[in-house]
Amino acid sequence: GGKDSTVLAYILNLLNKRYDYGAELLLLSIDEGISGYRDDSLMTVKRNQIQYALPLKILSYQELYGWSMDDIVKRIGNKRNCTYCGIFRRQALDKGALLLGANKICTGHNADDIAETVLMNSMLEFYRNTHFILLKLLHGSFSALCKM
């Protein structure tokens, strides 16, 4: 639904037609159920469906899991909601692929997206290790600290 996914859909569709690969291309979009967040990209993916004459399936967290991200935020608050959403989103893509009978998933991620993920995970791991060390020091477990 975003610009990277739109470019990917365009290129895959163009190459499939130009070189007669015979691939059956499908559009899958996930609606997380965040008020006002996904509306524009859902409109975009609907336009792409028409423009590229490709079948489109929009799956929502509500229909897959029985709740939306807005429901989750009401229960857990804003802390770590991106973590939940990211995991559920990837799972939703996998479930959608199975539902549609697809054996490949192409996403419009770019190098910036990958670099951001690596940095975020590295920083989180550093925080976890630092947090563990501080806890160990506060509780006087110096030998456990040395084993790390």
Please report, for the chain, the start and end positions of each structural domain, with discontinuous segments joined by +: 3-108, 110-147
Query: Per mean pLDDT, which of 10-19, 76-85, 114-123 is the most reliable?
Result: 10-19
- The DSSP code sequence of the chain is --HHHHHHHHHHHHHHHHTT------EEEEE---TTTSHHHHHHHHHHHHHHT--EEEEEHHHHHS--HHHHHHHH-STTHHHHHHHHHHHHHHHHHHHHT-S-------HHHHHHHHHHHHHHHHHHHHHHHHHHHHTT-HHHHHH-
How large is the average pLDDT for residues 105-126?
A: 76
Look at 7-11, 31-35, 84-88, 112-116 and tell me which has the smallest mean pLDDT.
112-116
Q: How confident is the model at residue 67 (pLDDT cuts 50, 70, 90)?
A: very high
Query: Which pLDDT score is estimated for 145?
Result: 38
Render pLDDT for 3-49 as a digit per residue (tens, 0 to 9): 888 899 999 999 999 999 999 999 999 999 999 988 988 999 999 99
